[in-house]
Structure 1
Amino acid sequence: MDENSVQEPFLLTEISVKKTSLFVSSVKWILEILMWAIFVAWIGVIFLFPTQFGNGLLEKYIHATTGNPCGITGSLFLVLSGPVLVIAFLSIFHLIISGDEEFQQKKSLKHPGVRLWTFPFLVDGPFGVVSAAEFIGILLFVVYVIWALYAYIIQSLNRISGEDLTLMEERILFLKTMGGHLGSMGLYCMAFLFLPVARGSVLLRFINIPFEHATRYHVWLGHLTMVLFTLHGLLYIVGWAMEGNLLHKLLSWKDIGVAILPGVISLFAGLLMWVTSLPPVRKWNFELFFYTHQLYVVFVLGLALHVGDFIFSMAAGGIFLFMLDRFLRLCQSRRTVDIISAKSLPCGTVELVLSKPGNLRYNALSFVFLQIRELSWLQWHPFSVSSSPLDGKYHLSILIKVLGEWTARLRGSIMNISEAEQPASPSQPRPKITASVEGPYGHEVPYHLMYENLILVAGGIGISPFLAILSDILHRVNEGRPCLPRNILIVWAVKRSNELPLLSTMDLESICPYFYDKLNLEISIYVTRESDPPLEEGDIHNVTVSSVCPMSKGCGMSVLVGTGDSMWSGLYVISSTVGFVISLGILYVFYINPRSISTWWYKGLLFFGCMLASVVIFGGLVVGLWHLWEKKLSAMEECEENRLKPGMVQHNEDVANLFQKNHTSITTIQYGSRPGFKEIFGSISEHWGYADVGVIICGPPTLESSVAREIRSRNLKRESHHPVFHFHSHTFDL
């Protein structure tokens, strides 16, 4: 390998990068500053509310804004839900003007350093591996809870001291007052709860946190929210029991004030979701968790009926963004997608090649949700994409490890189809698997292309996204596209040697001839449960595969995905939000105010219905136009190019020959041992020197923790000539 090819970044030596104009850079900088200012102000308002000073400011603000058509509801919506919607709007503009230049502007830093998002601060604990930036967020919520509890306790005690009550009455009043305050704290947490689970959210795209990583924030917030709401309900229950009217209160449904029965129903639905989402229950019965989690509709609607419109508006912003994403997913998932190829490997892994339109955008670290209608109409399962977007314009591949009942049934269906006899007549259709797809979702920016040095650590089927990464890099190197990686180490731990053929699903030489002259690639494989090769060394990969190739001219995936076209997805969010504000104003001006409607639960129902109608009507109009536009573009592309030919997808190939041809010279296999990350990272530190090293992990939690612990230790004790390791996790449990 020539010296220049390893030491000089490919992006800087062979590619002239188009510079971003000063105007565009200035606009992006202004938008970022403005978004941070709005976010900090929003957090400041939430922190001030528990104090007497904050209550005074709130009263003055409501008094000053009572002239708006929606009254107190409009005032609270503007100050507590408005900021997140404004930030979403600004994120849309930022994404649109950024276009595809975000990656092109990223260059290798001359002075590597530790970054908050990639430094594993906590490794062992209830939160898993937590970066320094995530720890700051957790700390912020902890400080808020402690601060709010202290402030509310002081307020409650002051209120009791001003009343002439008996000791029993004082205790009951304290319980009720603190119960109300805990409910308010739960509402503030709900303002954030639904933001991480909006899969195509413009907010997640802007901060470049993919949905599969953000779900852990939803889990953390879900635990905190349910603790607060549960304590909120328990304090009231104890207080009513002490008064002796518990059953009467639980069944009450007042018109003026809080309707208690809807709140009980909402809390019960929330408790069911909470209990079934705990790790032991999910591991025991995932379907139970999945189905009970659909009760979020009852949870949110019950909350709106419970507290009415003006209190519900405090958390409506995040819920509205989630509704937008959910409706777009519903529109996308209605389409059935052709399975171009289905292949069953003997190691218990299935490879599916799915049809997609040429203009569907994704990157090598994306994932999709897959539904197989022959198996279940309700279950959707996430899988990492194992192909690069440069592998083919009209197809996308995923690898599925058989681990549960659903995946076992999928493999059985493929085996049955492959063993079936040919149709008796040409008119008789060949059996197919009916699939629907949501996504692809993933990082807005392909961060794996921004490090000159990469370490990819995989456990078992965790090799799947790394096949896509390797293919993406090889394609870019071969075609002269922007790409920094030059040194790549793949560390792969598997239980049995029969999993090794997964590496042979990609032909390195065909992607980039003589890649070893342009890329320093090493693959270290550890077979943990076999002390020796089961057969002779040259024959261990000599396996066969069974496959089925439906190959029909059906439709590809829908392009209606939030992470796709920034212009259309932005127009969808903006039109729906503006439509919601207008329809809410019309509702108050022409119905609620003229008729003097004061029933809290009814106004809460109207508010929720207005949100839903705005998404369906205003958002649905944009989705329809988006679909027609993309259909027109796809038709134009099909006129210029032929669809994917059967010969482009390999079937029943000789895995042994392919493995020997492409991987033997760069691969080392160790039996009966696990990766020693102390030795691996120590060797890397000496050979790669002072540089940024991206470390991406996809595997079980124990593997992730081991790597994160070693990275933290290396970065804290590093010498001046050693590299800085940056931790990235691609492990997710949805």
Structure 2
Amino acid sequence: MANKVERRSSELSMAGVVRLLAVAIFLGYILAWVIAPTNRYREKWQPKLRADTNSTYFGTQGTNLLIYTFPILFISILGCVYIHLKKGRREDERHALNLTSLCQTYRNQMTGSCERSLGIVSWTELAFLAMFVALLTWYFSVYLSNSFSRITPQSAAKAGEKVWEAKLESAALRLGLLGNLCLAFLFIPVTRTSSILPLAGLTSEGSIKYHIWLGTPSWSSLPFTAYCTLSTGQQKFMAIRRRFHEQMLEWANTGESYVAGELALLCGLVLWATTLQRVRRKMFELFFYSHQLYVFFLFFFLLHVGIGFFCLILPGVYLFMIDRFLRFLQSRGRVRLVSARLLPGDSIELNFAKSPSLEYNPLSNVFVNVPAVSRLQWHPFTVSSNSNLEPDTLSVIIKKEGSWTQKLHQVLASSPPERLEVALEGPYGPVSNSFSRYNSLVLISGGSGITPFISIIREFIFRSATGEGATPKIHLICAFKNSADLTMLDLLLPFRAASPTSPGEGPTGKGDAVRTLWFKPRPTDQPAAAVLGPHSWLLLAAVIASSFVAFLLLIGIMNRYYIYPKDHNTNKVYSYTAKALLNLLIICATIAATAAAAFLWGKQRHAAEGRQVQIANAPTPAGQELESLPQESLVRSTNVQFGARPDLKNPVGAGGEGRRCPGQRPRGMRRDVAKICSSGLTDNLHYESMSFSW
């Protein structure tokens, strides 16, 4: 036992070292962006770097690959190693004093003053946001100051422009360069299998707001860039009409391609316009489908700037491409749907067969696609089951609210099919259980927001039954619109002999029975499993490393034996567009080959296990043990109030009297709880938001 504890401690300390190394490399990466616009770098350091890296194998592309691409990819590999060392460790963090707990302490000091514009954010998030805004300001101001210093009346007259025209055109160009800084980080928050986010204690679903924050300056700068360019272009048009017309339709063999830039600008403007909150809320499908224009934006942006300049934003796009291809491979299969339970409150619980080797933490989520409802739409849902308590089952709870969920409920309720095809992507979730560090938990939810708390409660049920770690005191506060939704409390226990809120026992004296539908799967249906098998993070690191090494080898061979001879043995320079397309082809080929090989290897690993997975009607041994527990204790601990909510200020709903809150939405509840936790009324009170707004 002592050797086991020592081994865990050594692995955790090694994980800390890996994390510190990743942080150090990231700080160096940020420093590279800080010094990039300075004259010292552009006039002294950059020429030397390009001379040292300019070879027949990589050309001028080598400098940006070394400075901007390699560090982020190396950090992602370190992140995979970090997650592998930390995954599955149930160390007791309750009294641990480490960097993670300190960051969590400061992160939980909430502020509600910016909730309308930024959402509920912490002081730490505001601090990092302020630093990033300072970086953007520095980056733009230094570039602009240096460019303006080179614009004189003589230089403007020589170019056939006025001074203000030259400065406006220069500002447009520098504003476009500012967008590159945001684009470099834009795709990292939406990479679901990101190994970088866990290094900062983040998850993909919790980082959507960072994607929005980064996208806002990226896309909002496009209208001003277009305006400045067209304004100066209009003056040139009045002077030299034919030349301006030719430039607007020119696809240059070298340098920037105007046509590709215009197409990228058009795609970006449509993207930006449909992301406005009013459009996104009222016309979500328009927002969702128009958001797929990011593929065309990146494609034309690559052709516009060339592969050398595109390497500045390549690492985020590269990791997103790996993630997207792995999701494509996982979504091709069909998951075995065992049963569906229709609750009286228009809620559905879907139960899938799961590979026992698939492990996930509470608060994880999966993306679900039901071709019978829509072949294109994927919707995220929080996993309500627990991989420890239910090793053969993965469950999600779906509330009938939108059009997609209404169609699904209609398919199951009206004429239930014998088999329902379902595809899954995920699960995705936190690497560790941050909630396990607390002595007591107050869980406050509204409506279907109880789903993530079900997985937390089941986790502590498992720990209590097996004696693994201490169990905190849990106080669950739920607010439902209708009394029929109280049946969602029946799902707190996966197996039970009685229910605290059985249908027909509510205050109305009425209730519909819970309907359970059983499905007949096909032999080709597979249990839910990790996309790369049990050791998915190590395989992901191998995919990132091997695909990038293969990419470097192939572009080196291509440049040395194909492009370099054409550049130096003929009078024509090799087309930048053709070179960019060849690089893109190599990137796609290396990612597809390495990711597919890792996917097939992982699939073979759990293929034999999948054939042995059988879901029986009888409860599992863990379920039988839970059924022996007295169910009356859960009934006695349930207190139902109607027409009012518990007083969240006395203290945070712990036994307070009810108060009437007519028409208040769950978002208002989150704001109230955040204000209470940041008010300092109670010592050692921390706030964590578990709202998922995709």
> 2: CA distance between counterparts of 1:412 and 1:558?
28
AA partner of residue 80 (structure 2) = I
* RMSD of equivalent CA atoms: 3.0
Q: 1:290 aligns with which of 288, 291, 295?
A: 288
| Structure 1 contact 191–318 (Cα < 8 Å) conserved | yes
- The 1:662/1:26 distance shift into structure 2, 3 A limit, reads closer
- The 1:458/1:319 distance shift into structure 2, 3 A limit, reads same
> 1: CA distance between counterparts of 2:632 and 2:669?
30
User: Is 2:107 the partner of 1:117?
Assistant: yes
- The 1:26/1:730 distance shift into structure 2, 3 A limit, reads closer
Residue 17 of structure 2 aligns with which residue? 30
User: Is 2:549 the partner of 1:578?
Assistant: yes
> 2: CA distance between counterparts of 1:358 and 1:461?
27
| Structure 1 contact 497–540 (Cα < 8 Å) conserved | no
> 2: CA distance between counterparts of 1:357 and 1:182?
50
Q: 1:678 aligns with which of 631, 649, 655?
A: 649
Residue 328 of structure 1 aligns with which residue? 326
- The 1:284/1:291 distance shift into structure 2, 3 A limit, reads same
Q: 1:388 aligns with which of 382, 386, 389?
A: 386
> 2: CA distance between counterparts of 1:74 and 1:562?
35
Q: 1:258 aligns with which of 245, 253, 256?
A: 256
How far did 1:331 drift?
Answer: 0.5
Q: Per-residue displacement from partner, 1:54-111 (whole Å, max 9, x unpaired)?
A: 323222222222236211111112101211011112222223333433x315233589
| Structure 1 contact 415–547 (Cα < 8 Å) conserved | no
Residue 548 of structure 1 aligns with which residue? 517
Residue 304 of structure 1 aligns with which residue? 302
> 1: CA distance between counterparts of 2:56 and 2:127?
38
Q: Per-residue displacement from partner, 1:125-164 (whole Å, max 9, x unpaired)?
A: 3110112222122112210122223212212321112734
Residue 660 of structure 2 aligns with which residue? none
User: Is 2:163 the partner of 1:197?
Assistant: no
How far did 1:197 drift?
Answer: 0.7
- The 1:536/1:62 distance shift into structure 2, 3 A limit, reads closer
| Structure 2 contact 253–575 (Cα < 8 Å) conserved | yes
| Structure 1 contact 579–618 (Cα < 8 Å) conserved | no
- The 1:540/1:703 distance shift into structure 2, 3 A limit, reads farther
Residue 706 of structure 1 aligns with which residue? 672
Q: Comparing both chains, which one has the higher relative contact order based on Cα–Cα distances under 8 Å and sequence gaps of 6 or more?
A: 1
Residue 449 of structure 1 aligns with which residue? 436
| Structure 2 contact 383–455 (Cα < 8 Å) conserved | yes
| Structure 2 contact 92–437 (Cα < 8 Å) conserved | no
Mark the runs of 5 or more structure 1 residues left unpaired by the alignment. 1-13, 419-429, 514-522, 526-533, 650-657, 686-698
Q: Per-residue displacement from partner, 1:668-695 (whole Å, max 9, x unpaired)?
A: 222222342222338699xxxxxxxxxx
Matched residue of 2:151: which SS?
helix
> 2: CA distance between counterparts of 1:91 and 1:190?
21
Residue 79 of structure 1 aligns with which residue? 67
Moved more, 198-207 or 312-321: 198-207
> 2: CA distance between counterparts of 1:450 and 1:255?
60
Q: 2:49 aligns with which of 57, 61, 65?
A: 61
- The 1:587/1:504 distance shift into structure 2, 3 A limit, reads same
What is the correspondence of 1:601-680 to structure 2 with a 5 Å cutoff? 601-635=577-611, 638=612, 643-648=614-619, 661=632, 663-680=634-651
User: Is 2:547 the partner of 1:557?
Assistant: no
What is the correspondence of 1:347-362 to structure 2 with a 5 Å cutoff? 347-362=345-360
> 2: CA distance between counterparts of 1:39 and 1:330?
30
User: Is 2:380 the partner of 1:411?
Assistant: no
- The 1:543/1:88 distance shift into structure 2, 3 A limit, reads same
AA partner of residue 238 (structure 1) = S
What is the correspondence of 1:443-592 to structure 2 with a 5 Å cutoff? 443-482=430-469, 484-507=470-493, 510=496, 540=509, 542-552=511-521, 554-560=525-531, 565-592=536-563
How far did 1:304 drift?
Answer: 0.4
Mark the runs of 5 or more structure 2 residues left unpaired by the alignment. 568-572, 621-628, 657-664
How many residues of Structure 1 are paired with residues of Structure 2 in the alignment?
A: 657
| Structure 2 contact 355–610 (Cα < 8 Å) conserved | yes
> 1: CA distance between counterparts of 2:15 and 2:581?
39
| Structure 1 contact 308–602 (Cα < 8 Å) conserved | no
> 1: CA distance between counterparts of 2:121 and 2:94?
26
| Structure 1 contact 559–630 (Cα < 8 Å) conserved | no
- The 1:495/1:84 distance shift into structure 2, 3 A limit, reads same
Q: 2:86 aligns with which of 86, 94, 98?
A: 98
- The 1:248/1:727 distance shift into structure 2, 3 A limit, reads farther
> 2: CA distance between counterparts of 1:362 and 1:574?
25
TM-score computed with the length of structure 2 as normaliser = 0.88
Residue 181 of structure 2 aligns with which residue? 188
- The 1:228/1:81 distance shift into structure 2, 3 A limit, reads farther
| Structure 1 contact 329–561 (Cα < 8 Å) conserved | no
> 1: CA distance between counterparts of 2:221 and 2:533?
32
**Identical-pair percentage:** 27
What is the correspondence of 1:92-171 to structure 2 with a 5 Å cutoff? 92-101=80-89, 103-104=90-91, 106-109=93-96, 115-123=105-113, 124-161=115-152, 163-166=154-157, 169-171=162-164
How far did 1:300 drift?
Answer: 0.6
> 2: CA distance between counterparts of 1:48 and 1:684?
56
Residue 654 of structure 1 aligns with which residue? none
| Structure 1 contact 338–355 (Cα < 8 Å) conserved | yes
- The 1:139/1:497 distance shift into structure 2, 3 A limit, reads same
> 1: CA distance between counterparts of 2:530 and 2:17?
31
> 2: CA distance between counterparts of 1:279 and 1:65?
45
How far did 1:585 drift?
Answer: 1.7
Q: Per-residue displacement from partner, 1:496-549 (whole Å, max 9, x unpaired)?
A: 2111011012338849x9xxxxxxxxx9x9xxxxxxxx9986665743123321
- The 1:356/1:250 distance shift into structure 2, 3 A limit, reads farther
How far did 1:345 drift?
Answer: 1.9
TM-score computed with the length of structure 1 as normaliser = 0.84
AA partner of residue 727 (structure 1) = Y
AA partner of residue 671 (structure 1) = F
> 1: CA distance between counterparts of 2:85 and 2:643?
52
